[in-house]
Structure 1
Amino acid sequence: MYNLKKIFRSLTKENFSTNIKEPLIKILPYIKPHWKIYTGLVILLFADLGMTIGMATFLKLVTDAAVNKNIQQLEHLLLIGIILILFVCSVIYMNSYLSSIAISKVTRDLRINLFEKILGLPTPKFLKYHSGDLLSRLTSDINNVAGLVGNNLLQMFKLPITAVAVFIYLLKVNWQLSVVCLLIGPAFLLIGGFFGFLLKKISRDIYDELAKVNSFLNDTLSGHEIVRSFILEQVFLKKFIGQSNNVLSLQLKQAKLSSIMRAGSSSAGAIAYLLNLGLGAFLVAKGVLSIGSLLAFVSLMHYLIYPFTGMVSTWISFQQSVSAWDRVLQILDSPGETRNLPEYIPHKEDVHSIHFRNLCFSYDGEKNVIENFNLSIPAGKIIALVGPSGAGKSTLFKLFLGLYQPTAGSIHLDSQSIKTLSPSALRSSIAYVPQESYLFSGTIRENLLYGRANTTEEELIKAAKIANAHDFIMSLPDKYDTEIGERGVKLSGGQKQRISIARAILKNSSILLLDEATSALDNESEYIIQESLDRLMESRTTFVIAHRLSTIKNADCIIVMDKGQIVAQGRHNYLLKHNDLYARLFHLQFQDKILPHNIGTSP
């Protein structure tokens, strides 16, 4: 049950004004760049108003001329009627065209701005949203916001102006009939306010449920291989049907309330129409009103009542758009990582040393996953990080990249804390190769150029050769311009890894963060990948979450981590003899050349 006191409180002047003003104030910056279009729409608004009164006057003159059998006047009025019709058609066309342009341009700007904001969200904030929810805000919510920048916005201004202008005109025709129409008005406003409150809440619930559906679809489609291999088709279908039924239930409730509202406003309008028609007929019979004046009044009465009925439907549509706008504003009003999105800055000087000083970090603000981490590394060294799952290795990478801020302590490049560096400056000096080689839809060339956009063809090919990727790329149908599908689905695991390595080579950063893949490859692919990684690590300060025996043995220093702390460090042979945790981890794994997943993976 809805709280009636809360509903009627929403109908107060203050809340009514706030519900209109706040959304308009926040959307105004997106409207301003297109002021010429909106100026044209305002001019058309007044042209439409003049046309409305003109047509009613035309009807009065034609009727009176016909009653008086004035043929000459009827001939002149016929020409005027043709001109009026042409004018009406022109206004309708221009209004529809300009309104469509305004909506398209403003929603495009909104979508771009929202996408830019999403890209710039701090990582903790970004991870609070499901990707399907963000997609829903970028697509359906932005489309629903169109009501705030198109016809609904114009109607909010047009309808009151129309009501005032028509009322003044009708007063001249007959004041008694005009007053009857005016007295019906408050009933429409009460109906609109009451149902508008209910429908706004339901609309918000519908948008939230649709976002859940999008999130579920995104998960299902991304994990389609797991769905099929575990025979989960029926399970996921039942879940989808349940979510779809939730949306349907809300939509039916919305349709019921909308229908009641429209029936109520139509009934009030019909009552006003019958009252005026009966009173008007009585006045004609008494000789107080001419037939032409009655017809003019009846035709214009719609435009006096319609602003009230129109305000009801417009207000409801407006509130539904506000619900979508609220969801968009949740992102737009969030503080970004920086004022502007980071962009690649070629590093001018190499980093000579890296220092971790009393570094601590907690995801939940209670339990530290990094605890008093202290380490100093000279440039050009290879540092291997090993430890059980949950030791904090991947978290250390996230802190290094500035994706999260430490709760205590600091990371320094030479003598400068990374907190004082812009995200652009910090991340431009670091190349990151994740455990899962993530490639984007598009061509191999496009994915390589994400490493550095202003790369020459020679540099591109050189990087691919260093990564042992050039030969297999040249064997593909379109070579570097071959489409690789979503997440590189058309390539093998080893091929994706080599493209990921080539991309890191192109970035040409002095620091490398490498999370070695745990997926097993055939011996030839394993050798090729290892050779590519060895070339990538040359002359770079490298931190590697190690899963390969060769990486551990070739590392200048191995850092053994457990529960976010350094429990030992040194070379392979030393640690094997003097550290029980390292020895246990080492002896658990080397049936193969790759460490088991539970040894090398961390949050």
Structure 2
Amino acid sequence: MGKYKNKLLKFKDGIINRLFVNLKWAYSFYRMYLGRILFYAFVEILKLVVDFFITYKVGNVVDFAISKDTNQVIRMGLLYVVMFVVMSFLSISANRIAAWNFNSMQADLVKKLFKKILKADWEELTAFHSGDLISRISNDAKIISQNAGSFLTTIITQSAMVIVCLAVILVNDASMILVVIIVAPIIVLSSRIFMKKMYDAQNIIRQIESRETAYSKESFHNIQAVKAFGLADEFYRRITLLEQDRYKADMRSNLFSLLSWIITYLAGIFSAIICIGWAFFRVDSGAMTFGTLTVVIMMAYRIATAGKTLLQQIPLSLQLTVSIERVREVLDINNEKLVETAEYEKFAVETEKDGVSVRVENMSFAYKNGNQIFNDVQLEANPGEIIALVGPSGEGKTTMLRILLGIIKAGSGNVYAQLPGENGDKYSFSTETRSLIAYVPQGNTMLSGTIKENMQLIAPEATDEEIIDALKQACAYDFVKKLPDGIYHNIGESGVGFSEGQNQRLAIARAILRKTPILLMDEATSALDVATERKVLSNLMRKDAKRTCILTTHRPSVLSACNRVYRISDTKVTVIDDAEIQQLMNDF
């Protein structure tokens, strides 16, 4: 008894169950397209009806020809011409509807995935490589869109074809039911043999495709370093190994598909021999006419054709299942907690008058992997101040900025913005308070497009004059005005065409346009010379004396311009005095 129970549990958790679970998800996701899918199914069913009619009437044509009834033969011939025209129109219509459904479904699924990634919890999202996410958006979304509607329609129509044709055969000769009882289990069992192996192979293929996309993305993004270190051959070798893995996985999947098809095909041939042999026996015994025999053979052929189509759905269904699971993994990521209140809107308006302070009190934080970053730390930054965060790499400088941005949430303690004054209103930092902050991240964050388009990402309504003013504050206008197109100059991918220092100044100018009371800069001046760095910081504070500026840096040259310097090290945040700052500058 226990043995059968284990087999039942294994079946419930097996491929068939996963297929149905994922098809259920596909149905729930595409409910808005249910009308279109049903319309497509209706056209396919009409094709089925016409096809069946053409096949069924073959028996009459044969009997009319044998009886030499010319008029009836001509009439049936004309009817066949009409039916073939109708069949062609339906086929064209079905193809067009399928394309309509596919493109609409893919567009919506891609948008849904893209929006999820943009809104997802940052820590959960970092579990996925960006190349893997690209693969899921492009490849898996396409597979789902291509098959979500047509797969079920094909199953329904072709199964209906098998049932109807089988019914016709049984109506013409009820004794064929004995043959059906014999051959049906053979067909069903033969189709199940390699299903698990085909599923595993499809899963491996999707994973390898994600690795290839990720590796290609990293290679192209770091193409200068690849060339500088003479690593072209090494990178080519590695992509070759990935291609070999993909080739082996594809061939393995193809092998299992072929073996499954061969076994099922042979089972079908064996079943057909039994059916046809029995039919000829019935003709020979006088229990069946030649016209009926023709109908039986044609129905058997239609069953075989429909069966072949159904067999082709097995690898497609497994491919669809794998892609759905990969898409669901992304869609199941928790979203950031978005908070929108009238209370915050009032608070944000108040910050425009005299700025806002940043307070961190008794705050502790650890990433989900258990890495403890902060333990009971304090920090303060007030309007008109420049605050620097220094310390070894990986100790928590960028993490502090992420907490202030609401990208991650402190484990304990208080992290809030406060209006000036001891009793000023307070508001905890979250996704909502990002509107108070302009942020200049590490690295190159310029996007393809003109300088103006990059600036207007932050301030869509910014005029040319406002953009130029921001560029001047960031000491970027001196080189921008020399460009042939000025602020309409096109920036290449990742700022190609500009130096690292120029890209940093453009990024600072973009942040300035946000006109927020808080400015966060993460190693944003690392590529600038000391004089330009000091001038940029001076411009920032002179233009808006109420701005609260917090920056991270490894360069002591900027520390003398700061009101306070915090060292972040060993989960602690401590203020360092002038003597320590001078020592850092001397050591540098």
> TM-score scaled by structure 2?
0.90
SS in 2 for 1:566: strand
The alpha-carbon deviation at position 82 of structure 1 amounts to 0.8
Cα gap change, 1:341/1:471 in structure 2, threshold over 3 Å: closer, same or farther?
farther
2: CA distance, partners of 1:11 / 1:89: 46
Q: 1:73 maps to what in 2?
A: 72
Task: Say yes or no: does 1:353 pair with 2:357.
Answer: yes
The alpha-carbon deviation at position 283 of structure 1 amounts to 2.4
Q: 1:392 maps to what in 2?
A: 396
SS in 2 for 1:508: coil
1: CA distance, partners of 2:281 / 2:85: 36
Q: Structure 1 stretch 125-134 or stretch 42-51: which is displaced more?
A: 42-51
SS in 2 for 1:336: coil
Cα gap change, 1:182/1:441 in structure 2, threshold over 3 Å: closer, same or farther?
farther
Q: 1:23 maps to what in 2?
A: 22
Q: 1:170 maps to what in 2?
A: 169
Task: Say yes or no: does 1:567 pair with 2:567.
Answer: no
Q: Structure 1 stretch 497-506 or stretch 510-519: which is displaced more?
A: 510-519
2: CA distance, partners of 1:288 / 1:396: 89
SS in 2 for 1:348: helix
Cα gap change, 1:219/1:243 in structure 2, threshold over 3 Å: closer, same or farther?
same
Q: 1:324 maps to what in 2?
A: 323
1: CA distance, partners of 2:118 / 2:561: 37
Task: Say yes or no: does 1:453 pair with 2:457.
Answer: no
Cα gap change, 1:69/1:459 in structure 2, threshold over 3 Å: closer, same or farther?
same
The alpha-carbon deviation at position 194 of structure 1 amounts to 2.6
1: CA distance, partners of 2:165 / 2:426: 71
Task: Say yes or no: does 1:505 pair with 2:506.
Answer: no
Among 466, 475, 481, the residue aligned to 2:482: 475
Cα gap change, 1:122/1:139 in structure 2, threshold over 3 Å: closer, same or farther?
same
Task: Say yes or no: does 1:465 pair with 2:472.
Answer: yes
5 Å matches for 1:24-423? 24-177=23-176, 179-181=178-180, 183-338=182-337, 347-350=348-351, 351-363=355-367, 366-414=370-418, 415-418=425-428, 421=430, 423=431
1: CA distance, partners of 2:561 / 2:15: 70
2: CA distance, partners of 1:352 / 1:14: 56
Per-residue Cα deviation, 1:420-479 (whole angstroms, up to 9, x for no partner):
x4x1x2111011112324111222122111212233444333323333334533433333
2: CA distance, partners of 1:81 / 1:456: 70
Among 539, 544, 568, the residue aligned to 2:546: 539
Cα gap change, 1:535/1:128 in structure 2, threshold over 3 Å: closer, same or farther?
farther
Cα gap change, 1:218/1:532 in structure 2, threshold over 3 Å: closer, same or farther?
farther
Q: 1:600 maps to what in 2?
A: none
CA contact (8 A) 1:11 1:193 kept: no
SS in 1 for 2:519: strand
SS in 2 for 1:293: helix
CA contact (8 A) 2:501 2:525 kept: no
2: CA distance, partners of 1:228 / 1:5: 61
CA contact (8 A) 2:521 2:552 kept: yes
SS in 1 for 2:230: coil
Among 495, 501, 507, the residue aligned to 1:488: 495
Q: Structure 1 stretch 380-389 or stretch 498-507: which is displaced more?
A: 380-389
Matched residue pairs, number? 574
SS in 2 for 1:150: helix
2: CA distance, partners of 1:449 / 1:124: 28
* Structure 2 letter corresponding to 1:219: E
Per-residue Cα deviation, 1:284-336 (whole angstroms, up to 9, x for no partner):
23332222221122111133344444333212211111011101110111211
Per-residue Cα deviation, 1:19-48 (whole angstroms, up to 9, x for no partner):
343212212243222233212112113212
1: CA distance, partners of 2:532 / 2:417: 35
1: CA distance, partners of 2:268 / 2:81: 31
Q: Structure 1 stretch 87-96 or stretch 310-319: which is displaced more?
A: 310-319
Q: Structure 1 stretch 344-353 or stretch 5-14: which is displaced more?
A: 5-14
Q: Structure 1 stretch 326-335 or stretch 455-464: which is displaced more?
A: 455-464
Cα gap change, 1:19/1:377 in structure 2, threshold over 3 Å: closer, same or farther?
closer
2: CA distance, partners of 1:81 / 1:552: 90
1: CA distance, partners of 2:4 / 2:159: 27
2: CA distance, partners of 1:251 / 1:16: 20
2: CA distance, partners of 1:50 / 1:36: 21
Per-residue Cα deviation, 1:245-278 (whole angstroms, up to 9, x for no partner):
1111111111111111111122122222222333
The alpha-carbon deviation at position 84 of structure 1 amounts to 0.6
Cα gap change, 1:104/1:181 in structure 2, threshold over 3 Å: closer, same or farther?
farther
CA contact (8 A) 1:435 1:515 kept: yes
SS in 2 for 1:358: strand
2: CA distance, partners of 1:56 / 1:484: 64
1: CA distance, partners of 2:196 / 2:139: 21
Q: 1:553 maps to what in 2?
A: 560
SS in 2 for 1:194: coil
* Structure 2 letter corresponding to 1:325: I
CA contact (8 A) 1:410 1:417 kept: no
Q: 1:593 maps to what in 2?
A: none
* Structure 2 letter corresponding to 1:435: Q
Cα gap change, 1:555/1:349 in structure 2, threshold over 3 Å: closer, same or farther?
same
Among 450, 456, 465, the residue aligned to 1:443: 450
The alpha-carbon deviation at position 159 of structure 1 amounts to 2.5
1: CA distance, partners of 2:362 / 2:454: 37
CA contact (8 A) 2:533 2:558 kept: no
SS in 2 for 1:439: coil
CA contact (8 A) 2:116 2:330 kept: yes
Cα gap change, 1:241/1:454 in structure 2, threshold over 3 Å: closer, same or farther?
same
Q: Structure 1 stretch 197-206 or stretch 387-396: which is displaced more?
A: 387-396
SS in 2 for 1:349: helix
Cα gap change, 1:15/1:232 in structure 2, threshold over 3 Å: closer, same or farther?
closer
Q: 2:421 maps to what in 1?
A: none
Cα gap change, 1:322/1:364 in structure 2, threshold over 3 Å: closer, same or farther?
closer
* Structure 2 letter corresponding to 1:506: L
The alpha-carbon deviation at position 15 of structure 1 amounts to 5.3
1: CA distance, partners of 2:585 / 2:117: 42
CA contact (8 A) 2:381 2:550 kept: no
* Structure 1 letter corresponding to 2:118: L
